[in-house]
Amino acid sequence: MPVADIVHLEEFAAAHRLHARDLGVQENAETYGACQNIHGHNYVLEVTVRGEVDARTGMVMNLVDLRSAMREEIVDQVDHRFLNEDVSFLQDLPVITTENLAIAFWSRLAAREAGWGGPKLHRVRLMESQSNIVDYYGE
């Protein structure tokens, strides 16, 4: 059966600051500059799922299921929140970068993958802005 990628996008607004637990005051200042201050982004989360196109349904999976997984596992938890303090599943991260967010979001979605009956999470793309984008493929 042919394999295809399906993609769904969700947007959320959230605040964060870049301040690494494991760096000292001076190193944090040099590394993150003004991004140490609390500021916000309109994030775009783009998730790609890869799988065989079902001969009967003509679909890799129902996009409604991907959308609900993204909303329930991620968007509903992070939208209009201060990511450094308000979101329990982010509290173990050493610093709230876009990279670490993408990895954390992958883990949340991976927990839903078994329920999709075959299709696999392929990419989590988190866009902090139109020009700053992180892709995570697992591992």
Is 128 marked active-site? yes
**Is residue 51 exposed (0-12), middle (13-18) or buried (19+ Cβ within 10 Å)?**
buried
* CA–CA separation, 73 and 88 (whole Å): 12
Catalytic member of 8, 35, 46, 99: 35
Per the annotation, the verdict on 73 as an active-site residue is no
Cα 125 to Cα 34, 133, 134: the distances in Å are 24, 7, 6
Q: In the annotation, is 80 catalytic? A: yes
Catalytic residue among 10, 46, 113, 128: 128
Pairwise CA distance, residues 115 & 93, whole Å: 27
SS3 44: strand
Query: Which of the residues 27, 52, 72, 80 is marked catalytic?
Result: 80
Catalytic residue ranges: 35, 80, 128
